Amino acid sequence: MSSTKSVQIVDIMTNNNHDSRIIINVGGTRFETQRATLKKLPATRLSKLTPQLSFYDPLLNEYFFDRHPGVFSQILNYYRTGKLHYPNNVCGPLFEDELTYWGIQREEVEPCCWMTYTKYRSTQETLQVLDSLELDTVRSTTDDIVKKFGWEDDFDLITSGHLSKRKRLMSIIWQLFEEPRSSTISKIIAVISMFFIIVSIATFVLRTLPAFEIAEYDFITVYTYNNLTEQTTVYNTQQREIVSSFDTIEWICNSWFIFEIILRFLVAPSKRTFCTSILNWIDFLGTFWFCFTYILYNIFHFNGYNAALDLLSTIRVARMFKLCNLHPRLKVIITSMSYSSSVLSLLIFFFFLATMIAGSSMYYIERLSNSTDNQLVSIVEGISLAISTISTLGSGDIVPKSFFGMIFGAITTIVGVLIIDLPMPIIVETFANFNSHLQTRQQLPKQRRRITPAAIPRKIKPQMPPNGYTHQH
């Protein structure tokens, strides 16, 4: 019987080599085509099919591939027609994996399907950005913390399975300050931090009110007639003294900021990443500038009021950006603006170009009209009028007086509306894309089941007796 089967297999293989037709079984679906069709695309997997491959089944006279049959129908159609179309019933990564397996370049997709095919790439980029922001991370697991701090090779973790007390304390403190939704204590710390930020900004704003200023007067000697002198009080505008309660409040707030930034720096997983963070720089500069100005005015008794020093102190207001860590939507808004920077820069460029053209044109139109009440005495006034017109503010301080100037001003208004409104849907679409993916991710389960790699069974060879003779019945 064994010799008879071997002869049949050889006959099948011999006939298959000379047969022009070939049967391919993909995921249980059988496809039949010509060998010449598969030779149209050399250097691909299907063009190299031979009976010696492990995919070939000599009994069924077919090649079996455990792949997606729906995608393979489009791939086989590509061999037949030379046009590769994207199937709408599969996901983009699946289609790209199938193309890679069959040895076909993804650039071969037809232009009519290219936008549909590449749409998933923008989705993958969006998901990668959301992963980097860690918006859906409420509390990091132990494995996440070990990976973030780089403690995979820690001796205590390898030997005992636990971190040392110092490292566990560092991870706990880091979670309390960097993950405000991880526990009740972290939420309380987040509320305290938000409270001090709001109080510090409110104090910075309210102290500029005249009601909280202590008026200072200087006594000067005034010479009158008959060489008589008398003392006169004059309000000193260069000296500004504020109620001392504001300094006390700001010292309390900044003491918390100093404590927070030092502690966060000590427990940071990466000191370099911590020092390159914009929010940390804002926090540091705001606290540093408060201490610097306080020492300058109160210890070194700097005389005179310097508005430039107070102007630099406005960086403390930027601490409001720290509130972005407390709500995922705020991070999404900032991320959407950063990813729309190319559109915003293009908008600024066209706005600048339009104001220059409209301002200079408006100036010369008014000048050629020979109007007696012409308000545009230079191109600078024309540019100022163009800015208020294109931005649709329309302050009305400077307006065109001639007939043609009014018409040109109306045209400038319409152009300004188009310049400002046309890029807005792109920015809104970017935010909607991030926001929709964020909402979808928050509805997904945190732990998802993963399949294990398939175990390929090995063929077991029959054991031969030591004497070399088989048992016969």
Three-state DSSP at 217 gives strand
- Domains in the chain, CATH or no CATH each: 2-133 (3.30.710.10), 142-174 (no CATH), 339-424 (1.10.287.70)
The two structure tokens encoding residue 214: 């202590």
Type of residue at 54 = S
pLDDT value at residue 26 = 93
Rounded distance between C-alpha atoms, residue 329 and residue 326, angstroms: 9
Per DSSP, the residues of 364-375 read HHHHHTT-TT--
Contacts of 15 (CB under 8 A, 6+ apart): none
Rounded distance between C-alpha atoms, residue 50 and residue 114, angstroms: 33
Report for 282-286, 301-305, 336-340: range of highest mean pLDDT: 282-286
Type of residue at 88 = N
Closest listed residue to residue 38, CA positions, set 74, 70, 77, 87: 77
- Place 19 in a pLDDT band, splitting at 50, 70 and 90: low
Per DSSP, the residues of 126-142 read HHHHHHHHTTT-SS--H
pLDDT tens digits, 391-445:
877 776 777 888 888 888 888 888 888 888 777 777 777 777 777 766 666 665 5
**Among all chains, which residue has been given the structure tokens 């920015």?**
427
How much is the pTM? Answer: 0.57
For the chain, the residue count is 473
pLDDT tens digits, 87-132:
877 888 888 889 999 999 888 888 888 777 777 766 767 767 766 6
